[in-house]
């Protein structure tokens, strides 16, 4: 049975724009995450309608400056000098305060997390996008979310949105983390079935998913994490009448 197409997630496009923003605050929303709060005049017009949107963040080498590129009718015009390293992050936009929050998972060797740990009020950071959003209805009757630390900011954004609904749907999340202490990042979200897998055990995640029965209609499935793990888990939701337009699978990172 196929869900009404009007209930499918819908893609919307944004005009690509690069913004140089200023660090307003640095916070710690959980043991494993560093939050950098950004603002500034260039944040005007920022739009992010999808809970798992991606904003590209640029990290120039210490002691160097980076002039944000300009978008023209002919394409993106980059300034002189080497392009800095960039990573994709989930934008957590607070429209009421007109602030952009980026939550960085802290881990060894991460250029982004190392920058976040050293960020100070007044520092500059250039972002690009999001170029578009996948707008997913929040009220599907049955919803499943699977992620590791890299997807937890998007999951947090999603669950915070769902928690505002008058009638809460049946939502389950399977989250695999390296350290049990990381659970505190989602501790403020009550009333959700969040099942934790400690130690990044792909088989343990697969076993939990194998025990689930996807309903015939009115469902949504979201799979993210390491590329090979996502590809392996995706097989569980192919065939058996599962509508692939209601399954979103994305690799958030790849093993080297």
- Domain containing residue 107: 11-132
Taking the alpha carbons at both ends of the chain, their separation in whole angstroms is 40
User: Do 203 and 113 sit in the same domain of this protein?
Assistant: no
User: Do 71 and 183 sit in the same domain of this protein?
Assistant: no
CA torsion through residues 87, 89, 95, 96, sign: negative
Rounded to whole angstroms, the Cα distance separating 127 from 112 reads 13
Is 171 part of any domain? yes
Q: Cα angle vertex 199, ends 194, 201, to 5°? A: 85
What is the residue-averaged pLDDT of the chain? 93
Is 140 part of any domain? yes
Is 5 part of any domain? no
Q: Which residue has the tokens 């888990």?
A: 233
Q: What is the pLDDT of residues 154-210, one digit of tens each?
A: 999 999 999 999 999 999 999 999 999 999 999 999 999 999 999 988 999 999 999
User: Do 45 and 99 sit in the same domain of this protein?
Assistant: yes
Q: How much is the CA Rg of the chain, to the nearest whole Å?
A: 19
Would you report the helix, strand and coil content of the chain in percent, each value rounded to 5?
A: 25, 35, 40
Is 2 part of any domain? no
User: Do 22 and 128 sit in the same domain of this protein?
Assistant: yes
Is 90 part of any domain? yes
* CATH number of the CATH domain containing 142: 3.40.50.80
So what's the pLDDT on residue 1? 45
Q: Using an 8 Å Cβ cutoff, are 162 and 186 in contact?
A: no
* CATH number of the CATH domain containing 49: 2.40.30.10
Is 119 part of any domain? yes
Domain boundary among the residues 100, 132, 164 is at: 132
User: Do 199 and 148 sit in the same domain of this protein?
Assistant: yes
Rounded to whole angstroms, the Cα distance separating 147 from 246 reads 17
Q: Which residue has the tokens 């002919």?
A: 74
User: Do 152 and 166 sit in the same domain of this protein?
Assistant: yes
Is 145 part of any domain? yes
Q: Provide the domain count of the chain.
A: 2
So what's the pLDDT on residue 150? 96
Domain boundary among the residues 113, 132, 151 is at: 132
Give 10-residue mean pLDDT values along the chain (256 residues): 69 93 97 97 95 94 80 86 90 94 91 93 95 96 97 98 95 97 96 95 94 94 96 91 95 89
pTM of the model: 0.94
User: Do 203 and 90 sit in the same domain of this protein?
Assistant: no
User: Do 27 and 57 sit in the same domain of this protein?
Assistant: yes
User: Do 198 and 184 sit in the same domain of this protein?
Assistant: yes
Rounded to whole angstroms, the Cα distance separating 238 from 232 reads 11
Is 3 part of any domain? no
Token reading at 14: 């944004």
So what's the pLDDT on residue 6? 59
Give the CB-side neighbour count of residue 141, counting CA atoms within 13 A: 6
So what's the pLDDT on residue 17? 93
User: Do 196 and 161 sit in the same domain of this protein?
Assistant: yes
User: Do 121 and 163 sit in the same domain of this protein?
Assistant: no
């Amino acid at each position: 049975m196929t869900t009404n197409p009007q209930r499918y997630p819908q893609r919307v496009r944004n005009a690509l724009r690069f913004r140089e923003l200023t660090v307003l605050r640095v916070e710690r929303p959980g043991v494993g995450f560093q939050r950098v709060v950004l603002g500034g005049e260039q944040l005007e017009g920022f739009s992010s309608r999808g809970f798992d949107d991606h904003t590209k963040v640029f990290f120039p080498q210490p002691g160097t400056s980076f002039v944000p590129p300009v978008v023209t009718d002919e394409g993106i015009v980059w300034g002189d000098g080497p392009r800095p390293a960039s990573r994709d992050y989930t934008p957590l936009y607070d429209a009421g305060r007109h602030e952009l929050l980026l939550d960085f998972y802290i881990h060894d060797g991460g250029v982004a997390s190392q920058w976040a740990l050293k960020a100070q009020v007044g520092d500059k950071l250039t972002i690009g996008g999001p170029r578009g959003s996948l707008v997913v209805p929040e009220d599907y009757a049955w919803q499943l979310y699977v992620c590791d630390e890299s997807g937890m900011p998007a999951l947090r954004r999603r669950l915070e949105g769902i928690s505002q609904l008058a009638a809460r749907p049946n939502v389950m999340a399977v989250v695999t983390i390296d350290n049990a202490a990381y659970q505190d990042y989602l501790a403020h979200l009550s009333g959700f079935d969040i099942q934790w897998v400690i130690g990044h055990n792909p088989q343990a995640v697969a076993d939990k998913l194998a025990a689930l029965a996807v309903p015939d209609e009115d469902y949504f499935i979201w799979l993210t994490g390491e590329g090979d793990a996502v590809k392996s888990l995706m097989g569980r939701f192919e065939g058996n009448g599962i509508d692939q337009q209601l399954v979103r699978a994305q690799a958030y990172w790849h093993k080297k």
